[in-house]
Amino acid sequence: MSHLIFLQDLAIVMIVAGVVAVLFRQFNQPVVLGYILAGLIIGPHMPMIELIHDEKTIDTLAQLGVIFLMFTLGLEFNLGKLQKVGATAFIAATMEILLMILAGYELGRLFGWSQTDSIFLGAILSISSTTVIIKTLEGLGKTKEPFAELIFGILIIEDILAIVMIALLSGFAATGEIAAGSVGKTILGLGSFLGILLVAGLIIVPRLLNYVAKFKSNELLLVTVLALCFGVSLITVTLGYSVALGAFLIGAIIAEARQIKKIEILMHPLRDMFSAVFFVSIGLMIDPSIIAQHPGSILIIASLVIVGQISTCTLGCFISGKDRRTSLRVGMGLAQIGEFSFIIAALGMQYGVTSDFIYPIVVAVSAVTTFTTPYTIRNAEGAVRLFDRLAPPSLLRSMEAYTQWLGRAAQHAGGKLERRILSKLGWQIGINLLLVTGIFLATVFFHHKVGIRWPDLPIGPEGLKAVSWLVALLASFPLLIAIWRKMEVGAMVISEMSVNPAVAGSRAPALQTLISNVITVAGTGVLILILLLLSSTLLPSRNILILVLVVVAISGFFLYRKSVKLYAGAQYALHDTFAQPPDPLLSHEQEPLPSLLRHARLEALVIPKGSPAAGKMISELKLRTETGASVVGIQRQNESLINPAPHEELHPGDEVLLIGSEEHLLAAKRLLGISEKIT
C-alpha cells in the first residue's frame, strides 16, 4: 500500500499546486507564492480532512527540487561569471552575514531570550534563501540581468560561509565555546574539496560529455548529466557540506561543455516539477497556530530580515565598487531567509541548546519573507528612483565620485603586467596547495578506515603509516614540483620589480639574483613546513621515516620529468576547457605574430555530401599529419564548435575553419574533397 499512498500524496500536491499556480498566473502574481499557499491548504495544520499521509516522502522530493534548482543555476551561471563577480560577492556576503548576526543577537537580547537563543537567531537571519531567490527571479524573467548574476554570486559565497558557520555553531552547541582548531580544519577541508572538484571536473567532465555526445542520443546525454549531478551531490553531502553547493558546482563545471544548450533544454522540465514540490513543502511547514501565538515576534523579526538584508547587502555591494542602482537592486533581491536557516534552527534543537519556539518562528518568518521577496525584486527600480529623489544631491555626487574613483583604481591596478603575472602565479600556487591538502586529507581518511577494518595487517601500524605517507607524497609529487617551479618564476618577477637598473647600475643583476634566491629558499621552507603539518598524523617512527625518505628521493629522481609532463598535460587540458578562439581580425600592429605564423591563413570550407570526410572523426582523417593544416572551428547550423576535439565527427554541410599555409590548405582541400571556398 505504501506505493499507493505515495502516488496519492504526489497527485494531491501536483493537482493543488497546479490549480493555485494557474490562478496566481491569471492575476499576474508570483507563482512561487501560489506553491506555498498550496502547501498551506493541504498541510497538516489546516482544519480540513487529512490530504497528505507521508510528509517525509514529500520532503525527499523537495530536496530533489533543491538539487535541480541549484544544478540548473550552475548551468546558467558558469565559472567565468562567478570569477567576474567574485570580489564583490565575497565582500557583500561577508559584510551582510556579520552585520545580520550582530543585529539578530541584539534583537534576541531585547526580546529577553537567552544568549544561546540570541546567537542562533543571529545566525538564522544571516543567510538568504538561494532556492526562493532563484525561482522568483526566473518567474519574473530577470535571471540574465547583471544584478541577478551578482545575486547568484553572493548566494554561493553565503552557502560556503554558512558551512563554516554551522561548524562554529556545532562546536559551540556541544562544548559551549568555539574551537578554532575545528573551524580551521573545516575551512581547510572545504577549500581542498572545492579545489579538487573544480580542477578535476574541468579536466574530465567536458571530455566525458564530448564522448557521450558522439552517440547522438538525448537519453544517454541526460542520464550522464544526472549521474554527474547526483553523484557529486552525494559526495558533497557525505563529506558534510551543502547539497546545494555540490549541485551548483557540478552545474557550473558542465556549463563549460559544448553541449550546454541541449543540456539546459533537457533539464528544465525536471527542475520545474521538483522545485514546485519544494515550495509546496515550505507551505506544509507553516502552522497558523504558532503565528497566532507569536505574531509580534514574527513581524519584528521578519521586518529586521527585510530591512537588514537590504541595507547590509546594498552597503556591501556599494563599498566593493558597484553603483548605487545595482547595489540597491541586489539588496532588494536578498531580503529573506530559507533552507540554511532551517538547518541552523534544527541544529540548535538537535543539541538541545535552543528553546522550542525558535524553529516554528523561523518557519513563519521564512514564509513571510518568501511572500514579500517577489514584490521587493519587482519594485527595486521604484526604490532606486525614490532614493534618488529623497537623497541629498551632495550625497548622490559623493556616491558617484566614489564609484568612479574605485573603478579607475581597479583599472590602474590591473594594468601592470608584472602584477597580473604574480596574481596568476598566486592563484595557481594556491589551487595546487589546496589539491595537495586534499590528497593528504583523503589519505588520512583512508588510513584511518584501513586501520579500523584490518587491524592485524602484517606491516603493522607503523608500516601502514609509512605506506600511506609514501602514497600521499607520490600522488602530490607533480603538484609539488609545479608549486616549486612557479615560486621560482614568481621570485624572478619580484626581483625584476624590486631592483631599478637605473639606480643600481652594474649591481642590478647581482641584486636581482640575490632577491630571487632568498624568496625561492624562503618559499621552499614554507612549502616543507606545510608538508610537515599535513603529514603530522602519518609520519612513522624515525628509522622507517628515513627509509621512506630514501624511497621518495629515488622515486623523485626518476619521476621528475614524467611529473612535469603530467602536470603540463593536465594544465593544458584545463586551459583548453576555457580556451577562446583566436581573433582572425587581429592586426599585425596590435599583436606581432611569431615568424612561423606570419604565413598562416584561415579559410572556411563546406563539407560536401560526397566528401570522404563526411561521417568521420577529425582524428581518423589525420589531417594535420597528412597535410599540415588544422581544423580550428566548425559551424553546424546554429552550433559553433571552437577548437573541436579530435573525436568530433564531421557532417555533410558543416562549415569548417582551417588554418595553415597556402600549401597546407591546398593539400587539405584535396584530402577532404572540397573545392568551394567560402571566405
Q: How much of the chain is helix, strand and coil, in % rounded to 5? A: 75, 5, 20
With cell 550582530, the residue in question is 102
Q: Is the CATH code 1.10.150.120 the one for domain 63-389?
A: no
With cell 609520519, the residue in question is 539
Buried b vs exposed e over 150-159: b needs ≥16 C-beta within 10 Å?
A: bbbbbbbbbb
628 sits in the region (left: phi over 0; alpha: psi -120 to 50; else beta) called left
pLDDT (0 to 100) of residue 312 = 92
559 vs 338: which has the higher pLDDT: 338
Q: Which of 29-33, 110-114, 180-184, 513-517 has the highest mean pLDDT?
A: 110-114
pLDDT (0 to 100) of residue 403 = 83
Per DSSP, the three-state class of 659 is strand
160 vs 584: which has the higher pLDDT: 160
Cα gap 93→95, rounded to integer Å: 6
Using CB atoms within 10 Å of the CB of residue 357, give its burial: 0 to 12 exposed, 13 to 18 middle, 19+ buried.
middle
pLDDT (0 to 100) of residue 596 = 42
R_g of the chain computed on alpha carbons: 29
Helix (H) or strand (E) holding 375: helix 358-378
The rounded mean pLDDT for the chain is: 78
Selection from 652, 656, 622 nearest residue 642 by Cα = 656
| Strands (DSSP E) found in 442-596 | none
Residue 82 has pLDDT above 70, yes or no: no
Cα gap 309→365, rounded to integer Å: 14
Selection from 368, 346, 538 nearest residue 442 by Cα = 538
| Per-residue pLDDT tens digits for 550-603 | 766 776 666 656 655 555 555 555 455 555 443 343 333 334 444 444 456 777
Average of per-residue pLDDT across 661-671: 82
With cell 572538484, the residue in question is 197
Cα gap 274→157, rounded to integer Å: 24
Average of per-residue pLDDT across 623-639: 78
Cα gap 319→322, rounded to integer Å: 7
Cα–chain-centroid distance for residue 97?
A: 19
Per DSSP, the three-state class of 640 is strand
pLDDT (0 to 100) of residue 410 = 59
Contacts of 539 (CB under 8 A, 6+ apart): 465, 469, 545
| Per-residue pLDDT tens digits for 201-255 | 888 888 899 899 888 899 999 999 999 999 998 988 887 777 777 888 888 889 8
pLDDT (0 to 100) of residue 135 = 77
348 vs 571: which has the higher pLDDT: 348
C-alpha cell at 461: 601500524
pLDDT (0 to 100) of residue 463 = 79
Class of 595-672 per CATH?
alpha beta
pLDDT (0 to 100) of residue 576 = 52
pLDDT (0 to 100) of residue 571 = 52
Residue 266 has pLDDT above 70, yes or no: yes
Average of per-residue pLDDT across 628-651: 75
73-82, 95-104, 107-116, 151-160: range with lowest mean pLDDT: 73-82
Contacts of 591 (CB under 8 A, 6+ apart): none
150-164, 288-302, 402-416, 567-581: range with lowest mean pLDDT: 567-581
DSSP annotation of 617 reads B
Contact 126, 332 (CB under 8 A): no
| Per-residue pLDDT tens digits for 274-299 | 878 877 887 787 777 777 888 888 99
pLDDT (0 to 100) of residue 345 = 83
| Per-residue pLDDT tens digits for 620-629 | 777 877 787 8
Q: Which whole-number Å values give the CA distances from 61 to 66, 271, 274, 276, 307, in the listed order? A: 9, 11, 6, 10, 33
Residue 641 β-bridge partners: 634
pLDDT (0 to 100) of residue 472 = 83
Average of per-residue pLDDT across 485-489: 79
pLDDT (0 to 100) of residue 679 = 42
C-alpha cell at 673: 574533397
Q: Which whole-number Å values give the CA distances from 355 to 108, 342, 537, 627, in the listed order? A: 12, 14, 40, 77
Using CB atoms within 10 Å of the CB of residue 377, give its burial: 0 to 12 exposed, 13 to 18 middle, 19+ buried.
buried
| Strands (DSSP E) found in 406-446 | none
- Per the confidence metrics, is the pTM higher than 0.85? no
Long-range contacts of 361-364 (CB under 8 A, 24+ apart): 361/290, 361/294, 361/297, 361/298, 361/301, 362/124, 362/337, 363/282, 363/285, 363/286, 363/287, 363/290, 364/286, 364/287, 364/290, 364/291, 364/294, 364/298
592 sits in the region (left: phi over 0; alpha: psi -120 to 50; else beta) called beta
Average of per-residue pLDDT across 609-636: 79
Contact 494, 422 (CB under 8 A): yes
Contacts of 325 (CB under 8 A, 6+ apart): 384
Average of per-residue pLDDT across 318-325: 87
pLDDT (0 to 100) of residue 586 = 35
What separation, in Å, do the N-terminal and C-terminal C-alpha atoms of the chain show? 68
pLDDT (0 to 100) of residue 104 = 92
Parallel/antiparallel/unpaired status of strands 639-642 and 630-636 = antiparallel
pLDDT (0 to 100) of residue 133 = 86
Contacts of 372 (CB under 8 A, 6+ apart): 302, 306, 335, 336
